[in-house]
C-alpha cells in the first residue's frame, strides 16, 4: 500500500535526551531536531521525516509522532539511537553538553521516500551540513529552510556555507550569526548571510524573540514573557518546524507571510520551553496556538 503524500519534509536528528535544568531532570526522553520540528510543523501541515533512529528507539516515542500525523517512512532504523546529555544553569541561556553519543547518526545516509516527492517545503533541521545539502539536492522543487548551530559553524564551515547556498531561508541564533560572519552587528551579518543565497534570514534571540531580514527590510518578533520556563531544549527546532509547517499551507513567500511564519515559530518555541522534551508541544490544540499568536499581537501593539 503506497504511503500518503506529505506537505513538507523535515530532515534532522532523532535522539534520546538526558536533560537537567533548575526545574527538574528527565532521562532518555524524546529529542533531536527532527522530532521537535516535525511535531511543531504537524499543527499546520503533514510532515514526513528523513532521519535515523536505533533499534532501541522506544515504540511509544515513535507512536507519539505518528499519532500527530507525522510520516516516518524516511526514518532509517539501524544501530543505537543518538544520545545527548545536557544541563542548563540558573540563567537557562545555553546548555552545557555533558555527553554526546552519535551512534546511528555517524552512519546516517538519508533516503527520501517516493511519497515525499510532492512536498512543497523542506526543513533542513539541525544536522551535519553535508547531509543537509544531500537532502536539499534530492528535493529540488521545494522551498528550503535551513537551521544550524554553533557546532557546525566551528567544525564544518565550508560545507555549511555550501548548504546555505542551496536554501531560501536561513535560521540561526544571534551568537551563531555573529560567529559565522565574524561580525557583531546583526544588520551587517544578515546582509552578508543573504548574499550567500537565502532570500530571508531569521535570527533567533531566545527570550528576546526573533528577527527576520529580507531585502533591506527587518521584522522584530517579540519574545513571549514566560513565567513558567522549564527547559529550553528544542525551542529553536520547534521554531523552525512551525515556520516550515505554516509556510507549507501558504501559497505565497512574500514578507507578510514570512512575518506570520516567524510569529507561529515563536508561538511553538514558547510552548516548547514550558515543559521538558515535547511534553507541551505534543498536546497542543489549535485554540492554544491561535490564542498565543494573538497574545503576540497584544504584546507588541502600540
Give residues in contact with a second copy (CB under 8 A). Answer: 90-92, 184-188, 205, 207-209, 211, 218-223, 225-227, 229, 256, 259-260, 262-263, 296-297, 299-302
98 vs 187 by CB, closer to a second copy: 187
62 vs 191 by CB, closer to a second copy: 191
Q: How far is the CB of 250 from a second copy (least distance, A)?
A: 14
Q: How far is the CB of 44 from a second copy (least distance, A)?
A: 16
Nearest-angstrom CA–CA distance, 83 and 14: 9
Q: What ranges make up the beta strands (E) of the chain?
A: 8-11, 15-21, 24-31, 47-53, 71-77, 82-88, 95-101, 121-124, 143-147, 169-173, 200-204, 210-213, 218-221
62 vs 219 by CB, closer to a second copy: 219
The helix or strand, by DSSP H or E, that contains position 247, with its residue range, turns out to be: helix 235-248
Give residues with Cβ within 8 angstroms of 116, minimum separation 6.
5, 6, 9, 48, 50, 71, 73, 74, 139
Q: How far is the CB of 273 from a second copy (least distance, A)?
A: 12
Q: How far is the CB of 249 from a second copy (least distance, A)?
A: 16
Q: How far is the CB of 89 from a second copy (least distance, A)?
A: 10
Query: How far is CA 127 from its chain centroid?
Result: 10
Label residues 198-212 b or e (16+ Cβ within 10 Å = b). bbbbbbbbbbebbbb
101 vs 255 by CB, closer to a second copy: 255
Q: What ranges make up the beta strands (E) of 197-239?
A: 200-204, 210-213, 218-221
Q: How far is the CB of 165 from a second copy (least distance, A)?
A: 24
Query: Do 222 and 300 touch, CB atoms closer than 8 A?
Result: yes
58 vs 219 by CB, closer to a second copy: 219
User: Which 8-state DSSP code applies to residue 215?
Assistant: S
Q: How far is the CB of 145 from a second copy (least distance, A)?
A: 18
Query: β-strand 8-11 against 15-21: which pairing, if any?
Result: unpaired
Nearest-angstrom CA–CA distance, 18 and 291: 31
Query: Do 115 and 5 touch, CB atoms closer than 8 A?
Result: yes
22 vs 107 by CB, closer to a second copy: 22
122 vs 263 by CB, closer to a second copy: 263
Amino acid at each position: 500500500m503506497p504511503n500518503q503524500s506529505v506537505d513538507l519534509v523535515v530532515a534532522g536528528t532523532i535522539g534520546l535526551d538526558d536533560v537537567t535544568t533548575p526545574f527538574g531532570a528527565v532521562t532518555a526522553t524524546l529529542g533531536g531536531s527532527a522530532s521537535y520540528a516535525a511535531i511543531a510543523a504537524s499543527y499546520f501541515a503533514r510532515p514526513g521525516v528523513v532521519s535515523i533512529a536505533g533499534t532501541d528507539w522506544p515504540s511509544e516515542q515513535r507512536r507519539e509522532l505518528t499519532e500527530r500525523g507525522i510520516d516516518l517512512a524516511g526514518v532509517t532504523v539501524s544501530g543505537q539511537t543518538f544520545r545527548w546529555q545536557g544541563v542548563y544553569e540558573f540563567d537557562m541561556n545555553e546548555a552545557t553538553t555533558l555527553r554526546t553519543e552519535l551512534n546511528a547518526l555517524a552512519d546516517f545516509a538519508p533516503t527520501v521516500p517516493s511519497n515525499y516527492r510532492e512536498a512543497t517545503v523542506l526543513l533542513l533541521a539541525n544536522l551535519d551540513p553535508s547531509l543537509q545539502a544531500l537532502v536539499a539536492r534530492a528535493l529540488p522543487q521545494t522551498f528550503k529552510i535551513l537551521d544550524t548551530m554553533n557546532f557546525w559553524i566551528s567544525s564544518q564551515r565550508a560545507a555549511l556555507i555550501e548548504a546555505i547556498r542551496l536554501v531560501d531561508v536561513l535560521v540561526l541564533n544571534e551568537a551563531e550569526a555573529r560567529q559565522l560572519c565574524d561580525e557583531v552587528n546583526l544588520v551587517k551579518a544578515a546582509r552578508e548571510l543573504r548574499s550567500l543565497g537565502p532570500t530571508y534570514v531569521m535570527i533567533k534571540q531566545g527570550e528576546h524573540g526573533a528577527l527576520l531580514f529580507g531585502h533591506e527590510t527587518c521584522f522584530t518578533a517579540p519574545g513571549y514573557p514566560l513565567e513558567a520556563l522549564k527547559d529550553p531544549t528544542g525551542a529553536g527546532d520547534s521554531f523552525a518546524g512551525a515556520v516550515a509547517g505554516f509556510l507549507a499551507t501558504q501559497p505565497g513567500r512574500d514578507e507578510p507571510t514570512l512575518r506570520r511564519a516567524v510569529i507561529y515559530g515563536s508561538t511553538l518555541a514558547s510552548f516548547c520551553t514550558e515543559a521538558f522534551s515535547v511534553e507541551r508541544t505534543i498536546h497542543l490544540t489549535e485554540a492554544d496556538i491561535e490564542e498565543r499568536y494573538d497574545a503576540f499581537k497584544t504584546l507588541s501593539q502600540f
